[in-house]
Amino acid sequence: MTPKEFFEFAKKHNADMVDLKFTDFLGTWQHCSFPIDTWNEGTFEEGVGFDGSSIRGWQGIHMSDMLAVPDPSTAQMDPFFDDPTVSVIANIVDPITKEDYSRDPRHIARKAIEYMKSTDIADTCYIGPEPEFFIFDEVRYEQKQNTGFYAIDSDEGAWNTNRIEEPNLGYKPSYKGGYFPVSPTDTYQNLRSEMTKELKKVGIVIEAHHHEVGTGGQCEIDMEFAELLKMSDQYMWYKYIIKNVAWRHGKTVTFMPKPIFQDNGSGMHSHLSLWKDGKPLFAGDGYAGLSELAIHAIGGILKHAPAILAFAAPSINSYRRLVPGFEAPVNLVMSARNRSAAVRIPMYSSNPKAKRFEFRCPDPTANGYLAWSAMLMASIDGIKNKIDPGKPLDRDIYDMSKEELADVPHVPGSLAESLDALESDHKFLTQGGVFTDDVIETWVSYKKEFELDEMALRPHPYEFELYYDS
């Protein structure tokens, strides 16, 4: 879509407002709205100004002026505003140099794609994520000097089988019992269908939706795979639409990986495949029907996984999920079909176009632009350096003894460990200037200062159970 076509699109839909959206460093959409008659075709070259010092992880106050340059090809009608409003995603530009801003996540994804093309290995990277989320009926939380608590509730919660509901009809998914039940146990069929319809309105192709394993309203809506940049844009729409559809029904959605104690958390298994000249590169006669190139790509993922997880599992809460016993892939091995491995090769189809690998460690707190770019860069590094992923492990990892698992590498046990891994292993990310040293350093320092250090200062509610009467 050209700038001229953008205005034709807006006129066709009677839009008199335009909503400019961009993704901040950590992966949250920011926006500002304008009467559409204040824009012209030049806006798509000149951009609009905003205060970069107010955006997390970006500019200092002494260098706050920045430009958001709208990309007309991303235009969609916003499904939630009362007045017809055309939404457009922006790239971030320095107002003085007119260069793309190095900490703009969308710019990093665009650079990763260009780097991939420059290697002549592939010209297209397809991503197919499976984001999981919880739909709750209420959430309350507080942190003060003398108070620290959270409380969540769900009409579907297994903890509510004894609640006075006048009457309580008892249809509530049990802990770890939420996978694929029909209604009335699954109460969110209609809500997920409405979410799906809204996602389709903005051009997102949906493959399926269903209840997930966890009690308390865990769900999944699967998007069809798409090119990396397009999928990163779509993932922002995905979160926005799912949260807003839930909100208009008096529900709340969280993509937090582990909101419920002793039940499954929410992951975002991410499928990746590389293509060139319209042909898939991952199909071959090797293990699980993979090509040698695909095997080496997996080698890159497994070698660099601890560093990748600084972006792909980027919250302290992420590591409440990455523990044994809740279907989380804590061991860095590959396997065909085995969902307990960090990298799985789906075996649903023999079609070469469907051949891909699935990295199961990421979760939906990730900034897709950064996490999937890091996965692509690790894959390329694996291919260039012919990295061996090791022997596949086709046993049930959770049934193996500690002695058997002693030599199996595992994911970091905390965000701090992942950040340390990123600091010591990021040359594969900085190839071609995709992730700059400044981006790495800023990400690590932000996470340490505003998350790790802040969490370390605060007593945990369970500490009172352990120590109050000591």
Active site residues: 51, 130, 132, 212, 220, 269, 339, 358, 360
Tokens of 256: 């937090």
Q: What SS3 state is found at 161?
A: coil
CB 291 within 8 A of CB 283: yes
Q: How many CB atoms lie within 10 A of CB 425?
A: 17
Q: Is 290 helix (H, G, I), strand (E, B) or coil?
A: strand
What three-state secondary structure class fits 160?
A: helix
Contact between 201 and 190 (Cβ < 8 Å): no
Residue 367: how many other CB atoms lie within 10 Å: 25
Pick the closest to residue 90 from 100, 81, 79 (CA basis). 100
Q: What stretch of H or E contains 440?
A: helix 437-447
Structure tokens at 46: 């000149």
Listing DSSP states for 359-405 in one string gives: E----TTS-HHHHHHHHHHHHHHHHHTT--------S-GGGS-HHHH
Distance CA 315, CA 149 (A): 19
Q: Encoding tokens for residue 310?
A: 């600084």
Q: How many CB atoms lie within 10 A of CB 293?
A: 20
Beta strands in 277-330 (DSSP E): 279-280
Token digits of residue 225: 């795979």
Helix (H, G, I), strand (E, B) or coil at 460: coil
| Separation CA 3–CA 229 (nearest Å) | 20
The Cα 69–Cα 283 span in angstroms is 39
Structure tokens at 133: 């989320």
